[in-house]
Amino acid sequence: MDRQLPVDFGSLFERHRRELHVHCYRMLGTLDDADDLVQETFLKAWRKRKSNLGPETIRPWLYRIATNACLDALKRRPSRIMPWHLGAPVVDGTQPVGSSPELPWLQPYPDRWLPADERLVARQTIEIAFLAAIHMLPPRQRAVLILRDVLDWSATDAADVLRTSVAAANSALQRARTTMKAHHATTADGTATARSAEERAVLVQFIEAWERSDAAAIAALLREDARWSMPPAPLWHGSREAIVAAIRAALDPVSRAHVGQMRQVALDGANRQPACAIYLRSGGDERYRAFGINVLRIVDGKIAEVTAFLDPRLFPAFGMPSSMYA
């Protein structure tokens, strides 16, 4: 006969809420979807609370419920994309960027929501580039890669979660690893370490250069092959030359690309990468308004990538106000 879980089942679940939220975010790519699926996991777990489980087995049980809930959700929801999934980079940096909010864009993840134990969320398994790559995988390949290479589950346990054979799970894993390598994204990336003092210094210089409207100073921080994207804008830039042309146009008050005065504020981080909040003041507005979240990837002291998530709805998740006075 199944035995009742301890009366403090709620506290046992809450102990794993943050890591389950990250798991659902990896699978689905947005904060709202992760919220929904964690709640669904909790409800399903509560309804099955008479299962023969104890405190030592509740974690894998919750992951099993969450993974299958995510797979069910992905039957109804599209995989998340980034601008570089849509085509080649734009060479003309002065071209209007436009906006395609109807597309299923990936979202950034606030570091302040991550589990305190960094071993549960290694940087190379949460960075934007890694998330963008795993969302190129079919859902079941995505799930098995996360279970095996991110969570370090055994082949037997992963196959059990996915209700398939060990051979089928291993085959899916090999196909997933091949795709990830093609996108230069693996869980064994030794260059992905905790944010350094050097990275923080580069972020400060980046913010200060924007404050001065100093395109040359921003250019000096960029790698020659830097990538810059601005979802929901569907285009992206793949070179320092194109990026700097776009920056100069954005900073020029007479340019059609100029949207107003910008202010940027450093954040705790996003996806274990340096990040800052972008505020914009236009016309005669006395306030700077929430505009987007910049997430930087820094390699050898230079900015290799900037992803500007131009969505003011992200600001509450990062603990930032919707506006500030000049």
Peptide bond into 232 cis (omega under 30): yes
Q: Do 169 and 275 fall into the same domain?
A: no
Asked whether residue 218 falls in the same domain as residue 141, the answer is no
> Which CATH number fits the domain that encloses residue 297?
3.10.450.50
Asked, for residue 3, whether it belongs to a domain, the answer is: no
- Please tell me the predicted confidence (pLDDT) of residue 5: 45
Structure confidence by residue, pLDDT tens digits, 158-205: 999 999 999 999 999 999 999 999 887 766 654 444 568 899 999 999
Do 209 and 75 fall into the same domain?
no
Kindly state whether residues 135 and 259 are assigned to the same domain: no
- For 252, phi then psi, to 5°, come to -85, 115
Do residues 220 and 306 both lie within one domain? yes
Please, what is the Cα angle at 174 between 271 and 117, to 5 degrees?
30
Compute how many other C-beta atoms are within 10 angstroms of the C-beta atom of residue 270: 29
Domain membership of residue 88 (yes or no) is no
Are residue 67 and residue 205 in the same domain, yes or no?
A: no
Q: Partners of 278 in the beta sheet?
A: 264, 292
Residues 217 and 243 in one domain: yes
For residue 261, tell me if it sits in a domain. Answer: yes
* Domain presence at residue 99: no
* Single residue among 182, 210, 225 that ends a domain in this structure: 182
Structure tokens at 141: 């390949």
Sequence letter at residue 272: R
Domain end point (choices 182, 206, 233): 182
The pLDDT assigned to 1 comes to 31
Query: Which of 97, 57, 114, 47 is closest to 230 using CA atoms?
Result: 97
Is the same domain home to 250 and 171?
no
Specify if 149 maps to a domain.
yes
Neighbours of 113 (CB within 10 A): 19
Domain containing residue 30? 9-81+107-112+121-182
CA distance 129 to 131: 6
Closest by CA position to 161, among listed 279, 66, 246: 66
Domain with residue 70: its CATH number is: 1.20.140.160
Domain boundary among 182, 207, 222: 182
Smallest Cα–Cα separation from 25: which of 58, 76, 70? 70
Residues of the chain with pLDDT under 50: 1-7, 190-193
Q: Say how many domains are in the chain.
A: 2
Distance between CA atoms of residues 28 and 50, nearest Å: 29
The answer to whether residue 127 sits within a structural domain is yes
Is 206 in the same domain as 308?
yes
Q: Do 157 and 257 belong together in one domain?
A: no
Rounded to 5 degrees, φ, ψ at 191 are: -80, -15
Given this model, what pLDDT does residue 3 score? 42
One domain, residues 129 and 275: no
- pLDDT of the residue at 53: 64
What is the phi/psi pair of residue 54, to 5°?
-130, 180
Helix H, strand E, coil C: the string for 256-286 is CCCCCEEEEEECCCECCECEEEEEEECCCCC
Dist. CA 258–CA 174, nearest whole Å: 47
User: Looking at the domain assignment, is residue 55 inside a domain?
Assistant: yes
Q: Please check whether residue 326 is in contact with residue 248, taking contact to mean a CB–CB distance below 8 angstroms.
A: no
What are the φ/ψ torsions at residue 171 (nearest 5 degrees)? -65, -45
Residue 72 has a pLDDT of 97
Is there a domain that residue 91 lies in?
A: no
pLDDT of residue 51: 58
pLDDT at 268: 94
Do 243 and 312 have their domain in common?
A: yes
SS3 for the chain is CCCCCCCCHHHHHHCCHHHHHHHHHHHHCCHHHHHHHHHHHHHHHHHCCCCCCCCCCHHHHHHHHHHHHHHHHHCCCCCCECHHHCCCCCCCCCCCCCCCCCCCECCCCEHHHCCCCHHHCCHHHCCHHHHHHHCCCCHHHHHHHHHHHHCCCCHHHHHHHHCCCHHHHHHHHHHHHHHHHHCCCCCCCCCCCCCCHHHHHHHHHHHHHHHCCCHHHHHHHEEEEEEEECCCCCCEECCHHHHHHHHHHHHCCCCCCCCCEEEEEECCCECCECEEEEEEECCCCCEEEEEEEEEEEEECCEEEEEEEECCHHHHHHHCCCCEEEC
Q: What is the pLDDT of residue 191?
A: 45
Residue type at 143?
A
